[in-house]
Amino acid sequence: MSSENLVKMANQIAHYFDSEPDPALAVQGVRQHLKSFWTPAMLRQLAEWSEAHAGEGLDPKVREALV
């Protein structure tokens, strides 16, 4: 899968949690979703892309969830 698609999908997941008033819970929701439904290869590819691009284009919740 292309890195661009992974970024798009991760941002869509993050936007789902935009209505969560507690930012920490929103990040935890993103982290849990990625852990539960993404393969290790997808997570690794997204993390590598994020590092190479300084997180540019990723929702801040996704960037924090990847830490």
pLDDT-based confidence at residue 11 (cuts at 50, 70, 90): very high
Query: What pLDDT shows up at residue 34?
Result: 97
Give the global pTM: 0.93
3-state SS track over the chain: CCHHHHHHHHHHHHHHHHHCCCHHHHHHHHHHHHHHHCCHHHHHHHHHHHHHCCCCCCCHHHHHHCC
- Type of residue numbered 34: L
Q: What distance in Å separates the CA atoms of residue 18 and residue 8, rounded to the nearest whole number?
A: 15
Task: Provide the residue ranges of all domains of the chain, joining segments of one domain with +.
Answer: 1-64
Q: What distance in Å separates the CA atoms of residue 16 and residue 20, rounded to the nearest whole number?
A: 9
| CB of 34 closer than 8 Å to CB of 10 | yes
